[in-house]
Amino acid sequence: MTQILSVGDRQIDLSTPACMGILNATPDSFSDGALLNDDSSKNFKIDLDKALTRAEAMVKEGALFIDIGGESTRPGAAIVSLQEEIDRVIPIIEALHSRIDVCISVDTSKPEVMKQAIAAGARLINDVRALSLDGAMDVVKNSNAALCVMHMQGKPETMQSTISYDDVVDEVIAFLREKVSVCKENGISPSRLLIDPGFGFGKTVEHNYRLLAELSRFSELQTPLLVGVSRKSMIGAAIDRPVDQRLAGSIAATAHALAHGAKIMRSHDVAATMDAIRVNSAISSARKS
């Protein structure tokens, strides 16, 4: 499998796994309240300086990617209008692009946001809806941005209420295989693709742990694997701790994911995730060939 990911005009070598730092420009994200300049979500307005300071700190800690999102995809989160999402993410992308040399990822499903984000400097489209909105495929195929294709059963509004699988691992792999194939048919080079099982998206805790336990099976898709488990409820369920006390649990899951093929870890806690990546690399290098 190729370990090189084409991200715009950059070639990223994923033979050593990388960290994607999370920058949520939403009022209801996992503990990102520091980006608000008003403590009521009704008057939510992003503080650009705080967003840039946080992004710069994550890059200093070792993040190769910064994933910027303006729409919360947590179960039951409010729907965000196109203009609202643009107002939340585009100024951050523009400012970050002009200040730091980092791969900017945009977490969006809306084609117009994708288009404006790419024009502003984003080079990776992280679409939890896997290009299912009309026009999304065209935007990606007419760019040189990389694409993360994620599995989700249902929609964020309802995904945790109607969950059903015969075999979650088989079904998630089949879904991703089909999406990768459609992307290739549309002319998107495999070197631009990442796949992601979508932990927490239309899955019970048991489904999430089954996917994690069998993560190495995703290598059959021959496409680099992105994993996001940071602070998620599957971690909380195993350790019975609230979201602000899930670092150790998240790193335990990260270590397992890295040992079983993950190439990019999406995380709120970049420094600790980089430590896990470095220890994983030390173990990999020590293995007898």
Q: Which stretch binds ligand 9MG (CB under 6 A): 34-42, 167-175, 194-202, 243-251?
A: 194-202
- Is 106 near ligand 9MG (CB under 6 A)? no
The catalytic residue among 54, 232, 246, 263 is 232
- Is 231 near ligand 9MG (CB under 6 A)? no
- Is 202 near ligand 9MG (CB under 6 A)? no
The amino acid present at 174, given as its one-letter code, is: A
Question: How many Å apart are CA 266 and CA 96, to the nearest integer?
Answer: 18
Distance of CA 28 to the CA centre of its chain: 17
* Residue 126 phi, psi (nearest 5): -105, 95
- Is 235 near ligand 9MG (CB under 6 A)? no
The tokens of 85 are what?
């999402």
The tokens of 9 are what?
């005009």
The residue within the footprint of ligand 9MG, chosen from 32, 94, 107, 269 (CB under 6 A), is 107
The gap between the terminal CA atoms of the chain, to the nearest Å, is 18
Secondary structure of residue 138 in the 3-state scheme = helix
- Is 70 near ligand 9MG (CB under 6 A)? no
Question: How many Å apart are CA 271 and CA 28, to the nearest integer?
Answer: 23
CA dihedral of residues 239, 242, 244, 250 (deg, nearest 10): 30
- Is 226 near ligand 9MG (CB under 6 A)? yes
Query: Which residue, 175 or 285, has its beta carbon nearer to ligand 9MG?
Result: 175
The catalytic residue among 110, 192, 203, 266 is 266
| Among candidate residues 192, 198, 195, 69, the one with its CA nearest the CA of residue 123 | 192
| Among candidate residues 171, 68, 166, 50, the one with its CA nearest the CA of residue 116 | 68
Q: Number of residues interacting with ligand 9MG: please give it, by CB under 6 A.
A: 13
Burial of 61 (0-12, 13-18, 19+ CB in 10 A): middle
Q: Which residue is nearest to ligand 9MG (CB)?
A: 228
- Is 267 near ligand 9MG (CB under 6 A)? no
**x/- string (CB under 6 A) for ligand 9MG, residues 119-138?**
-------x-x----------
241 is catalytic: no
- Is 228 near ligand 9MG (CB under 6 A)? yes
266 is catalytic: yes
The residue within the footprint of ligand 9MG, chosen from 140, 150, 257, 258 (CB under 6 A), is 150
| Among candidate residues 70, 66, 81, the one with its CA nearest the CA of residue 24 | 70
**Closest CB 199 distance from ligand 9MG, rounded Å:** 5
CA dihedral of residues 233, 261, 267, 109 (deg, nearest 10): -80
- Is 199 near ligand 9MG (CB under 6 A)? yes
Tell me if 228 sits within 8 A of 199, measured CB to CB.
Answer: yes
Q: Which stretch binds ligand 9MG (CB under 6 A): 54-62, 84-92, 133-141, 193-201?
A: 193-201
**Closest CB 223 distance from ligand 9MG, rounded Å:** 13
Binding site for ligand 9MG (CB under 6 A): 69, 73, 107, 126, 128, 148, 150, 196, 198-199, 226, 228, 266
Residues with a known catalytic role? 232, 266
